[in-house]
Amino acid sequence: MRDSCRLILDKDGFRSAEASDGKIGIQRTEQLRPDLVLVDLKMPGISGLEVLQKIKAIDANIIPIVITGYATVESAVEAMKRGAYDFLPKPFSPEELRMIIKRGLEHRRLMEETQSLRREKKLMEDNFITLVSHQLRSPVAAVMQYFEVILSGLIKDDSQKNHMLHKAKIRLEGLLELINDWLDIARMNSGQIVSNKKPFPVVPLLSRLLDFYKPQAAKNGVSIIMGPTKGKDIVCGDAESLEQVFANLITNAIKYNRPGGRISISVEEEESGLTIRVSDTGIGIPPEHLPHIFDQFYRIPQSGDKKIRGSGLGLSIAKKIIEAHDGLMTVTSMPDEGSTFCVHLPKGNPAAKN
């Protein structure tokens, strides 16, 4: 039977090894660390149940499949307790062998992917805590230094004191922005972000934002226009969360624009949903940075005299909010030509507004 199984496995492209008893099988397992092991319950020397237990001690990811001609409920339960993944009763066909091996290897693949995702999640959490700790400590330390200098009495000139206080205010504003962003992430992770989803028209929301940000845009020498709406503008979502998304896109379009630049916003109904585009004629995004701009804390290195502060969380949060709405956010950009952020959202049912 071992020879027959090996012929089938070799024909299917697997690398396999065999053992005539449990003791040799355990030695081979330690040496080769296979993905999957076929174990007969009744063998010379130690039993298959003892082999199962020792295999799991060698490598918990090995998939053990029990072959037996004496299957009973008791033996099945005991084998499962010792780590068996499945049973292959004798006699079996080559196709049954292939099927159970395929199933076992797929289970191993999914198990390894799950472990990899857990490790990645843990690493991301550790990195997030480290980054947030640094981001929190830095502005607090800077403000403390400003206050210590002022309280020491070394600076007599009121204009210098005011300058330091103004700098401290800017750092505290940045700290408050970071805390708010962090709270938003916590809110999304707890599933609260779309708890208030309902149909509403998106154009009035965008119009309010444009009116609010026009003075800031004008101060930067940037014009904002609202393009025509093509089709209906009803979306299904949490208006407060979506307002945060578009506020982030508009403020970024202002900050990273140039004097004399413009921002245009358009809304278009499509068969699969509603697409809102926020386009600017700003500095653009280099191609090598485009894949990372939605990553937490990612900021594009800035050159020149104009340094723009930020937590590096805004776009990450915006994308998470859109994905929580079963939507999609994409970006296209060319350096020195500008960027366009596209937000695609599911349509809302106007009849369900109230």
User: Would you list the domain boundaries of the chain?
Assistant: 2-92, 129-189, 198-352
Helix (H) or strand (E) segment spanning residue 333:
strand 328-334
Exposed e or buried b per residue across 329-345, where buried means at least 16 C-beta atoms within 10 angstroms of its C-beta: bebebeeeebbbbbbbb
CA distance 145 to 76: 70
- Say yes or no: domain 198-352 is CATH 2.70.160.11: no
Q: What is the pLDDT of residue 34?
A: 93
CA distance 121 to 289: 23
CA distance 235 to 346: 6
Q: What is the pLDDT of residue 236?
A: 85
Residue 294 identity: F
List, for residues 26-83, the tens digit of each pLDDT value.
999 999 999 999 998 888 888 888 888 888 889 888 999 888 776 566 766 777 777 7
Helix or strand or coil: residue 266? Answer: strand
Transcribe 100-133 into DSSP letters. Answer: HHHHHHHHHHHHHHHHHHHHHHHHHHHHHHHHHH
Residue 246 identity: F
* Domains 2-92 and 198-352 in one fold: no
Phi/psi at 109 (5° precision): -60, -45
Tell me which residue has tokens 């444009």. 210
Topology given in CATH for the domain delimited by 2-92: Rossmann fold (3.40.50)
Q: What is the pLDDT of residue 73?
A: 62
Q: What is the pLDDT of residue 161?
A: 86
Q: What is the pLDDT of residue 114?
A: 82
List, for residues 279-321, the tens digit of each pLDDT value.
999 988 888 888 888 876 666 766 555 555 555 678 888 888 8
Q: What is the pLDDT of residue 186?
A: 63
All residue ranges of the chain with pLDDT < 70 are 70-73, 75-76, 121, 124-135, 181-195, 296-299, 301-312, 348-354
Residue 219 identity: K
143, 206, 225, 247, 342 from 229: Cα distances, Å:
47, 11, 12, 19, 15
- The CA-based angle 47-105-79, given to 5 degrees, is 25
User: Number of helices and strands (H, E) in the chain?
Assistant: 9, 10
CA distance 9 to 19: 15
198 closest CA partner among 250, 236, 143: 236
CB 237 within 8 A of CB 197: yes
The token pair that represents 64 in the structure block? 């053990």
